[in-house]
Structure 1
Amino acid sequence: MPDTTRTRLPRLEPAAAKVPAIIALFWALKLLTTGMGEAISDFMGQTSIPAAALIGVGGFVVAMRMQLNAREYRAPVYWFAVMMVAVCGTMVADGIKDGAGLSYAVTTPFFALCVAGVFWAWHRSEGTLSIHSITTRRRERYYWTAVLATFALGTAAGDLTAMNLHLGYFGSAILFAALMAVPALLWWRGLLNPIAAFWIAYVLTRPLGASFADGFSKSNDGGLGLGDGPISAILLIVFVALVAYAAKARIDIQAPGEHAGPTLHHHLADLELEGHRARAAARS
């Protein structure tokens, strides 16, 4: 019989990078999703915990299916996924803290270890943590696992500084804004790897945005007490408007040259690995 294993192909990989270009619009939307995730999660939790869990988990599953099934970056699909990760990540952090009766001093380092573990496994598997390389399904799964872990870490860290360290919500926001400026400055001066600078800033946007949202919505710890519902609605309106602009203007799509090399190399490696596995299965 002729050997047909060489013609077997893996599942279709994404046709282009599945994350947006890192421009000012990216950071604006990221900060909006962090504040929204905090406010929406708290608002739903105060209304009905079972309904909140159903919407949060169900929305997360739907959003992930939509994003993973897309073969290229689409602003509405991608940012809907980020929004649901923000909501779900907040619920995970709060659920572990409240359900297990643990303090933020315990959950914050726990989630930090989770983030470190995801990054270690991702780099060990793919050799890079660059978002310009999110052009395969495996890398995309690592990416979204890391995003979920960073949202959980940011939720715990923001509440730790605001409540346990008594900085208040706006004090915490100022602290994380200052911390976020450090990797940006180091990267600008050429003293920090751009991949490391990106992920440090990415992690810090979560407590920064959430602290601002809590500062306006909550009445404790120096908050203005405007309510989670109104703040959720305002942030959602601005978020939808910016996503609509991104989808129409298409200014946040990565240029093909940014990822063509890693994609070709990875596809060739996958084809070779698939062939080895198929031939091994045929011999057995």
Structure 2
Amino acid sequence: MTTNTQRGQATAIGSRLINKVPEVTVYFWIIKVLATTVGETAADFLNTGLHLGLGGTSAAMGVLLAVVLVVQVRVRRYVPALYWAAVVVISVVGTLVTDNLTDSLGVPLEVSSVVFAVALAATFGAWYFSERTLSIRAVYRGRREAFYWLAVLFTFALGTAAGDLVAEGLNLGYWKSALGFGVAIGLVVAARYAVKLNIIVAFWIAYVLTRPLGASLGDYLSQDRDEGGLQLGTVTTSILFLVTILGVVIYLTVTGKDARTGRST
């Protein structure tokens, strides 16, 4: 016979296992956009500023990502500093994946955009087939977390390719591109509340769109004035955004405002 104590222990264990992804609050989206901006500017800095080249930068960041993800998957709960460190590093790697395909292998942005869209859809399909849910409120250790981080990687790669395709194809410039992607995210939010767009679908569409939004913002701040930027440079922009991310993460660590509440979506 199952006692109340046993049921309570099982509930507590389940609660600990599910806390691998933060509550999606305004803080989540603030850090996400900041992280995508760092992904763009940091990749540019390592590639050109430190003269590592795409190959050297990709190798270094690939090793760092492997280390961070190993630590991330080994913890039993959501740890703000560790989780967001993984997002920042995977943002850089996602940018480099697309840059390598475009700059080193000459793959057209149209092709890479389609490839990453298909890869993301396949990841979602395998995730749902295996776990019967794509909810980010149900990211346990193991397969679900593996699917989650693979999906996150593909969203960054897809966002980079699609964002570059839109910016180059329409020749909008940095701030207009950022504005355009901001409007697109606003439309997703409106669809969520006006026509009851599925919350999981809305989340992942917005997650993809924040990548080119953050990249356009980073380019606008860091690039030279004759290229349409504010000429802050990749170092200053990266440091500015990393310090802001650190401040928000410390705040969340202390307050626990993005801890899971137990609601389901």
Q: Scaled by the length of structure 1, what TM-score is found?
A: 0.83
Question: Partners of 1:228 and 1:217 in 2: how far apart?
Answer: 5
- Aligned residue pair count: 248
Over residues 166-212 of structure 1, what are the superposed CA-to-partner deviations in whole Å (9 max), with x where a residue is unaligned? 11111111111111111211111242011111111111011101110
Equivalent runs, 1:71-220 vs 2, <5 Å: 71-219=76-224
One-letter identity of the residue aligned with 2:244: V
Q: Which aligned runs of 4 or more in structure 1 are off by greater than 6 angstroms?
A: none
Secondary structure of the corresponding residue to residue 101 of structure 1: coil
Does the CA-based 8 Å contact 1:34-1:210 persist in structure 2?
yes
Question: Which residue, out of 252, 257, 261, partners 1:251?
Answer: 257
Match for residue 230 of structure 1? 236
Q: CA deviation at 1:59?
A: 1.3
One-letter identity of the residue aligned with 1:91: L
Secondary structure of the corresponding residue to residue 200 of structure 1: helix
Does the CA-based 8 Å contact 1:16-1:256 persist in structure 2?
no
One-letter identity of the residue aligned with 2:155: T
Equivalent runs, 1:17-96 vs 2, <5 Å: 17-46=19-48, 47=50, 48-49=52-53, 50-96=55-101
One-letter identity of the residue aligned with 1:88: V
Does the CA-based 8 Å contact 1:104-1:164 persist in structure 2?
no
Identity %: 39
Q: CA deviation at 1:107?
A: 1.6
Secondary structure of the corresponding residue to residue 15 of structure 1: helix
Q: CA deviation at 1:228?
A: 1.0
CA RMSD of aligned residues (A): 1.7
Does the CA-based 8 Å contact 1:108-1:156 persist in structure 2?
yes
Larger mean Cα displacement after TM superposition, 51-60 or 191-200: 51-60
Greater radius of gyration (CA): 1
One-letter identity of the residue aligned with 2:86: A
1:162–1:223 CA distance, 2 compared to 1 (3 A): farther
Question: Partners of 1:152 and 1:257 in 2: how far apart?
Answer: 30
Does the CA-based 8 Å contact 1:217-1:228 persist in structure 2?
yes
Question: Partners of 2:108 and 2:221 in 1: how far apart?
Answer: 24
Match for residue 274 of structure 1? none
Could you tell me which runs of 5 or more consecutive residues in structure 1 were left unpaired when the two chains were aligned.
1-11, 260-284
One-letter identity of the residue aligned with 2:22: P
Q: CA deviation at 1:87?
A: 0.8
Question: Partners of 2:196 and 2:135 in 1: how far apart?
Answer: 17
